[in-house]
Structure 1
């Protein structure tokens, strides 16, 4: 299966809420010596720099969060629970410190490879699961996602409705409806308990909430 065109840097140099919606339906792909593994993005979370207490940029730059300030299109990879890498993509200009977390994928290419890495058939239904399935590690922090081997690529808009809901797995900023997902997709990490906004679409305005 051919992968779509790699998303350019300008795609990310925008409000992370717009980027988070527009990434739904796009493809995260990792090409390695073992083979290519990829998936269609079905769930994201936006983090809004200094105005967002859950964003790693809410505090001033430190060694562990320095990558998030380095400008659009770079991968910001960090460990959760000291063990599981999560992948974000930086948004807006250098120094701003906003990003989008990729939370779930619908597996597309390399399912056998992903299952081997995961040791189970539950492949990409969460941010820590998808990095393991795609072989994404801490060494990919600050990787330029506009260049192989780890890229984000254009994909067709998902058929399901895009909705906004509150973020999960956080201790701060949980009330903010900055999680975006394709409603009803079986690969979404956690179905929304409430929906803050419906009818979102790629290429549309910044979500109103």
Structure 2
């Protein structure tokens, strides 16, 4: 089900608080829920509500690409000041998009795991870009990091673009009041190599939203 814009319209086009980009990834990950990811294309703008995020913060996080201060051509964007977009490729075929946060040289990134199109028009454009969808629920359109990148035509050409500048090809704008959302937290997904960090409850999502990739039955409430 696509939720048409309601009270969202009163906040349309407003920037996010700067603190979301300057805070650590762990602080920013839950605050990004309910906010709007905007993709500008030749067919028009697509707006989606962020419904699931994961935090990857600091050189001590064994789940992070920058663990141990690993600074390579791939991870360089993670070391930028907050506001940059970090896009990488996994399994040689799926892109993932992250919001870089925190101070320069301190690698902090929030993975956007799932989004919900705000209107039926947004959903139709996303379906066009995804191509033939697998059978199942409509949320399969963007209920995972690789899926949403395909649906929004996000690839490595967008790596490093500024998400806090609202005139670029991909950016963030103010969405719902996060304090009114029902948020839960649970362990991150598919990082068994992270040892003790694999169990950290650093995945955040909006409880009950159909676009969330995986509903953890042991998730616990989180308050902002």
Matches of 1:199 and 1:141 in 2, distance apart? 30
- Over residues 57-102 of structure 1, what are the superposed CA-to-partner deviations in whole Å (9 max), with x where a residue is unaligned? 1132011111100110000000011111100011110000011000
Matches of 2:171 and 2:65 in 1, distance apart? 23
Shift of 1:189: 0.3
Shift of 1:7: 2.3
Instruction: Please give the secondary structure, in 2, of the residue aligned with 1:11.
Output: helix
Q: 1:143 aligns with which of 136, 157, 161?
A: 161
Shift of 1:12: 1.0
8 Å contact from structure 2 (residues 185, 221) kept in 1:
yes
Q: 2:43 aligns with which of 20, 34, 37?
A: 34
Shift of 1:149: 2.3
Matches within 5 A, 1:22-171: 22-59=31-68, 60-109=70-119, 110-119=122-131, 120=133, 121=138, 122-147=140-165, 148-157=168-177, 160-171=181-192
Matches of 1:125 and 1:69 in 2, distance apart? 28
Shift of 1:9: 4.4
Matches of 2:222 and 2:107 in 1, distance apart? 28
Structure 1 ranges of 4+ moved more than 6 A: none
Matches of 1:193 and 1:50 in 2, distance apart? 30
Instruction: Please give the secondary structure, in 1, of the residue aligned with 2:74.
Output: helix
Shift of 1:157: 2.9
- Over residues 134-180 of structure 1, what are the superposed CA-to-partner deviations in whole Å (9 max), with x where a residue is unaligned? 11111000001122221111111365510110000212232110000
Matches of 2:91 and 2:155 in 1, distance apart? 14
Matches of 1:78 and 1:51 in 2, distance apart? 20
Shift of 1:11: 2.4
Matches of 1:102 and 1:169 in 2, distance apart? 15
**Corresponding residue of 1:15:** 24
Q: What is the root-mean-square deviation of aligned Cα atoms in Å? A: 1.6
TM-score normalized by the length of structure 1:
0.89
Gaps of 5+ in 2: none
Gaps of 5+ in 1: 202-209
Matches of 1:49 and 1:160 in 2, distance apart? 27
Matches of 2:33 and 2:16 in 1, distance apart? 13
Matches of 2:158 and 2:17 in 1, distance apart? 18
8 Å contact from structure 1 (residues 104, 126) kept in 2:
yes
